[in-house]
Structure 1
Amino acid sequence: MAKQLIIYTGPKCHLCEQAKGLLYPLLAEKGWHLVEIDITSDSALQVQYGLRIPVVVTADGREKGWPFTAAQIARMLD
């Protein structure tokens, strides 16, 4: 089973699209799967992440908000 990285996003979020464009090639190379969660689906997520999106979170709870680089995310995945 592939490891998963969560990305919290929102509708019409151009920064989220940029982040996903950066993440997909990196995750494919490392054998990870990106799970996208729209924060508008949950009021608690809206409060927690609000204007901070996009935010990526690993299974062990490490978070990185935008802006981030492929190198920073690669270090999170190792």
Structure 2
Amino acid sequence: MSARVTLFSRPGCHLCDEARAVVARVCAEVGESFAEVSVDDDPELERRFGHEVPVTFVDGHQHDYWRVDPTRLRAALIADPAEGHRPER
């Protein structure tokens, strides 16, 4: 089973550290896993997200950037992914 949440980050980024803590906490609360990918390891990811890290994706769709709102993330993870529900920002 693949992770529903992907966190795009970079080493040494304090916002990434904060986002990682929120994502880890919320995923643990709802029984989901997350994957973390460094944008520094891929030129295309660096081009796409380099100025917005941390960036979170839920079920393959961009969810947040710079900050992770735990309430929004929890709502997205509780929603049925088959329904394609993404809370409004």
TM-score (norm 1): 0.87
Deviations for 1:25-78, whole angstroms, at most 9, x for unmatched residues?
110111111100000110000000012000000223233112231001112212
Match of 1:7 in 2: 7
Q: Percent identity, please.
A: 23
Cα shift readout 1:4-43 (whole Å, capped 9, x = no counterpart): 2000000101110011111111101111111000001100
Structure 2 residue runs without a partner (length 5+): 80-89
Residues 4, 58 of structure 1: CA spacing in aligned structure 2 closer, same or farther, 3 A cutoff? same
Aligned length: 78
> Which residue is 2:64 aligned to?
64
RMSD: 1.5
User: Over alpha carbons, which structure has the higher Rg?
Assistant: 2
The alignment's TM-score, normalised by the length of structure 2, stands at 0.78
Q: Which has the higher strand share?
A: 1
